[in-house]
């Protein structure tokens, strides 16, 4: 239990220190690692005494979540803007594409 919380604290510290320049892919990888640690903590059977022992450390970790959540929201907004630009480009491009059917049309001529 102590090992998992220690890893979670190290992860949180690492993310907070690099929050200004962290990329989406790395943030995703770190979030996945964090989720695995949290799942490990949930599976570990603890007594009430052990829960009290780790409560302050876990509460400290939870207090550091808002900046991480803000960064995730910023990355989400950035991705959404990129998708909107791509879609706008597609709409604009489709305006220049041929809108007619290119199947062959034959006209019979009498001689």
Work out the mean pLDDT of the chain and round it to a whole number.
84
The reply to whether 90 falls in a domain is no
What pLDDT digit, counting tens, does each position of 62-103 carry?
898 899 899 999 999 999 999 999 999 988 888 777 666 666
The reply to whether 41 falls in a domain is yes
Q: What total number of domains does the chain contain?
A: 1
The reply to whether 73 falls in a domain is yes
The reply to whether 55 falls in a domain is yes
The reply to whether 71 falls in a domain is yes
The reply to whether 107 falls in a domain is no
* pTM of the complete model: 0.68
The reply to whether 100 falls in a domain is no
Residue 95 confidence (pLDDT): 74
Residue 20 structural domain: 2-79
Reduced 3-state DSSP string for the chain: CHHHHHHHHHHHHHHHHCCCCCCHHHHHHHHHHHHHHHHHHHHCCCCHHHHHHHHHHHHHHHHCHHHHHHHHHHHHHHHHHHHHHHHHHHHHHHHHCCCCCCCCCCCCCCC
The reply to whether 56 falls in a domain is yes
Residue 83 confidence (pLDDT): 95
What pLDDT digit, counting tens, does each position of 31-67 carry?
888 888 888 878 877 788 888 888 888 889 889 889 9
């Amino acid at each position: 239990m102590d090992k998992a919380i220690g890893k979670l604290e190290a992860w949180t510290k690492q993310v907070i220190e690099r929050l200004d320049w962290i990329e989406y892919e790395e943030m995703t990888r770190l979030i996945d690692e964090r989720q695995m640690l949290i799942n490990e903590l949930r599976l570990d059977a603890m007594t009430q005494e052990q829960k009290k022992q780790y409560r302050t450390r876990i509460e400290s970790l939870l207090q550091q979540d808002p900046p991480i959540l803000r960064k995730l929201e910023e990355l989400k907004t950035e991705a959404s803007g990129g998708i909107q630009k791509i879609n706008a480009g597609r709409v604009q491009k489709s305006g220049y594409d041929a809108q007619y059917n290119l199947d062959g049309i034959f006209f019979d001529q009498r001689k």
